[in-house]
């Protein structure tokens, strides 16, 4: 069956098997291997992509459902050599560990910040609850989201004023989440 869709800003028209999943088309036909298959059951979030701006598990979406949609994968975030603020924040905060879950977390974070540029801790935790990580313990991921908020604000101010962005806030500094023993449930999601 023939489908037409947009992926990372480019128009695509493909012949697909109606029984194949979106993740199969993205990885095998389009070679967008940033989309990772973890569980294959929609439980881990490693395959998170944005479909018409909303986070979706690509392992649960069939290829025909891609028809007419706008898809974004991790490969479509950077502008040339310049990383997207969320990608940059994850790298600077050390929220990458083995890296397998990182694209899914980044895409979920991008969706969150596009709909809510300054989310509170509970909103962040809720938005990332569909993504699992077995390496970081989530603390650095939460730091990365807060850093992404700061970087996005700075980029927006810089674009508006044409001035330099200044210094980059450091993970664990101003804007980082508190994580006492009483609040450890928040750090572990």
**For 72-103, what is each residue's pLDDT tens digit?**
999 999 999 999 999 999 999 999 889 899 99
Residue 44: half-sphere exposure toward Cβ, Cα within 13 Å: 16
Give the architecture (CATH level 2) of 85-178. Orthogonal Bundle (1.10)
Contact 98, 135 (CB under 8 A): yes
Low-confidence residues of the chain: pLDDT under 50 = 164-189
Q: Where are the domains of the chain?
A: 2-76, 85-178
Cα–Cα dist 189/183, whole Å: 10
pLDDT in tens, 6-23: 999 999 999 999 999 999
For residue 163, the model assigns a pLDDT of 53
DSSP 132: -
Domains 2-76 and 85-178 alike in fold: no
For residue 101, the model assigns a pLDDT of 94
Cα–Cα dist 35/19, whole Å: 19
For residue 135, the model assigns a pLDDT of 85
For the entire predicted model, the pTM comes to 0.82
Cα–Cα dist 156/121, whole Å: 22
Strands (DSSP E) contained in 8-161 are 10-15, 48-51, 54-57, 70-72
The matching CATH number, chosen from 3.30.70.2860, 3.40.605.10, 1.10.579.10, 3.10.20.30, for 2-76 is 3.10.20.30
Contact 14, 77 (CB under 8 A): no
Phi-psi map region of 73: left, alpha, beta (phi>0 left; psi -120 to 50 alpha): beta
Contacts of the segment 25-30: beta carbons below 8 A, 24+ positions apart? 25/63, 25/66, 26/58, 26/71, 26/73
């Amino acid at each position: 069956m023939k489908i037409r869709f947009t992926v990372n800003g480019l128009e695509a028209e493909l012949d697909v098997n109606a029984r194949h999943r979106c993740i199969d088309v993205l990885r095998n036909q389009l070679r967008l291997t940033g989309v990772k298959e973890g569980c294959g059951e929609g439980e881990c979030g490693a395959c998170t992509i944005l479909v018409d701006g909303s986070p979706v598990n690509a392992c649960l979406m069939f290829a025909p459902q891609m028809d007419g949609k706008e898809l974004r994968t991790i490969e479509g975030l950077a502008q040339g050599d310049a990383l997207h603020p969320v990608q940059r924040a994850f790298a600077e905060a050390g929220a990458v560990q083995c890296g397998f879950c990182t694209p899914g977390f980044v895409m979920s974070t991008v969706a969150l910040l596009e709909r809510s540029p300054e989310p509170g801790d509970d909103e962040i935790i809720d938005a990332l609850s569909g993504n699992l990580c077995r390496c970081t313990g989530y603390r650095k991921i939460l730091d990365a989201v807060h850093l992404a908020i700061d970087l996005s604000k700075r980029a927006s101010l810089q674009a508006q004023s044409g001035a330099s962005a200044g210094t980059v806030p450091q993970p664990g500094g101003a804007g980082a989440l508190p994580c006492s023993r009483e609040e450890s449930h928040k750090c572990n999601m």
